[in-house]
Amino acid sequence: MGTYKFKTVNIRGKEYVEVKERVKYFRQEKKYENWTIATEFPVLDSEQAVCKATIADDAQRVIATGHAHEIQSNGNINKTSYIENCETSAVGRALAIMGIGVDDSMASAGEVADAIHQQEKMSSPRLRPSQRLKRRLTSWIAQSGTSRVPPIVRRHTTPSSKSTVTN
């Protein structure tokens, strides 16, 4: 890797090497000529995927493996591409285990971004419906410049005579 300059992505002040950069390096380096990257899916169904990537040398000795797990319902990209995302992560991890594109972390840029998103999602408190409505109304009022309640919101009384706001 000596003088090779990997392109990186900055996430929260840290530089991460994308998987495509690791694969590009692996494919163009003479010392990896005739080496292989093979993937398999020990778990693959309509909800999740587990991928194992194996890197073998020209004598087909296993040099590194990497694993990844993706859930189809986890995020916008995974809704349509959880299998591809899983395979890419496993390949990136296997290449990182070989030391390709690694300085501070073996995680790829995508893995780091996903982890940050999951942490933020888990740490943000779940809002009750009334809190969500209040937030939407506050936002609408700020954007519209009026304090009038938008026409989609109606006030009604429940059978227990409590006044509630719904949309």
Q: For 144-167, what is each residue's pLDDT tens digit?
A: 565 555 555 444 444 554 444 444
Task: List the chain domain ranges.
Answer: 8-123, 129-166
Q: What is the pLDDT of residue 4?
A: 78
CB 40 within 8 A of CB 82: no
Question: Per the confidence metrics, is the pTM higher than 0.75?
Answer: no
pLDDT digits (tens, 9 = 90+) for 120-147: 565 555 666 666 666 666 665 666 565 5
pLDDT higher for 4 or 53? 53
Count CB atoms within 10 A of the CB of residue 149: 13
pLDDT band at 116 (very low <50, low <70, confident <90, very high): low
Give the other-Cβ count within 10 Å of 108's Cβ.
Answer: 26
Express each pLDDT in 18-64 by its tens digit: 899 999 999 999 999 999 999 999 999 999 999 999 999 999 999 99
126 alpha carbon, distance to own chain's centre:
21
Q: Which of 128, 97, 114, 100 is nearest to 32 (CA)?
A: 100
What pLDDT, on the 0 to 100 scale, is given for residue 12? 78
